[in-house]
Amino acid sequence: MNELKDFPMLKKSIIYFDNAATTLKPKIVIDKVKEYYEEYSANSHRGDYDIGFRVDDEIDNTRVLVQEFINAKRKEEIIFTKNTTESLNEIVFGFFNNYLKEDDEVILSSSEHASNILPWMILSINKKIKIVFVDSVNERLHIDDLLKKITNKTKVISLAQITNVSGDKRDIKLITKIAHSKNVLVVCDAAQSAPHIKIDVEDLDVDFLAFSSHKMLGPTGVGILYGKYHLLKKMVPIMYGGGMNENYNEKELKLLSIPYRFEAGTQDLASIIGFSEAIKYLNSYGFKNIERKEKYLRKYLVQELKKIPYVKIYNEHNEGSIVIINIDGVLSGDLGLYLNSKNICTRSGKHCAKMGDNKDDTLRISLYFYNTYEEIDYLISVLKDKKSLLNFIN
């Protein structure tokens, strides 16, 4: 594999360090999307003609690839949504809205992404349930605090496997084991983990899992919702319309089987089809290689950042490929714009997680396997040039 050849964006004269927001796409993914539009641009489920059958086959093929990718027991457990946010909303409002009763408790961490907090907040108002937040200390989940907070009212724990602000990697397998021993269900937000580590839902034993194609080399517009089949049978759709009903009249509505009942309307067919190539690319690159490469890149980045006395690193010891920093006396937004002026893409602010233990805005550098040591060297040289930085912000 040759990243420079595989990713057209890597040929541009920019350095892309905003991979936690979305990743670059390899050419084979772009070509697959193009293939759909140029060769079999039809709707799914609806045509009695060859190019329509081809679309159905391609969509089914992606579903099976995703099933194998996360080691789900059956392909019906894979539901296509728009993104992680929609998957989490479907889980909260389609399943837990009926499952939870007044006074039940949901455990979240304060470092969750807004998409794993706000749906629960709305549900808690509508259903009079209680959200219990677990603290993070030094950018890591406080596991003892989590264990202490599980009571006989706790019905679900919903956590990111890796957080998007500080790259805190949680032991979801252990948490799920403990949760299940107390009859507590587990929802896993895998938006930041599925791109970087091997996900095995059978091994993790989580009840629901959500992630996005665009954060793992795939096109935008596709999310995955995984749920254990017996739980999906109890989930109701949050969207109604074409493509999800078998029949209806004034008195009754008969839904299609799982997963189709949860996929109302025309989906982003081109992107679902393109996602298949992203999965194949990740499979052939191999998660062992991805993890190894990212580990050394991160280590190098931290080591070089530590040599700059005025750089504060917030999450030196976390495992994800995210490093958050600040420079004394410089707003993180200004720092981001300064780096942009040097063709480096990063992100500043609170990164959609506004309740974490770190209340500062930070500059986030998020890596992926196609980043290089040379790119890090360039970033470091730009950060070391304090005169240029001060000139830019003044």
Ligand X SMILES: Cc1ncc(COP(=O)(O)O)c(C=O)c1O
Q: Using CB under 6 A, which of 19, 62, 115, 371 touches ligand X?
A: 115
Q: Using CB under 6 A, which of 19, 23, 83, 267 touches ligand X?
A: 83
Which single residue is written with the structure tokens 């084991």? 177
Find the distance separating the first CA and the last CA of the chain, reported in whole Å.
Answer: 44
Q: How far is the CB of 125 from ligand X (least distance, A)?
A: 21
Contact between 107 and 154 under an 8 Å Cβ cutoff? The reply is yes
Find the length of the chain.
Answer: 394
Q: Does residue 111 bind ligand X (CB under 6 A)?
A: no
Contact between 386 and 358 under an 8 Å Cβ cutoff? The reply is no
Q: What 8-state DSSP symbol labels residue 308?
A: S
Q: Does residue 160 bind ligand X (CB under 6 A)?
A: yes
Contact between 71 and 202 under an 8 Å Cβ cutoff? The reply is yes
- Which 294-353 residues touch ligand X, going by CB under 6 A? 352
Contact between 320 and 327 under an 8 Å Cβ cutoff? The reply is no
Q: How far is the CB of 322 from ligand X (least distance, A)?
A: 10
- Taking the least distance from each CB to ligand X, the nearer of 45 and 350 is 350
- In the shown chain, the binding pattern of residues 42 to 61 toward ligand X, with x for contact by CB under 6 A and - for none, equals --------------------
Residue 277, phi then psi, degrees to nearest 5? -75, -30
Quick one: tokens of 208? 């629901």
Question: Catalytic residue among 114, 231, 255, 352, which?
Answer: 352
- Which 194-223 residues touch ligand X, going by CB under 6 A? 212
Quick one: tokens of 69? 């990718």
Q: Using CB under 6 A, which of 100, 107, 117, 191 touches ligand X?
A: 191
Quick one: tokens of 175? 């948490």
* Active-site residue, 352 included: yes
Of 165, 359, 193, which Cα lies nearest the Cα of 287?
193
Q: Using CB under 6 A, which of 23, 89, 164, 332 touches ligand X?
A: 164
Q: How far is the CB of 5 from ligand X (least distance, A)?
A: 27
Catalytic (active-site) positions: 352
Binding site for ligand X (CB under 6 A): 83-85, 113, 115-116, 160, 164, 189, 191-192, 212, 352
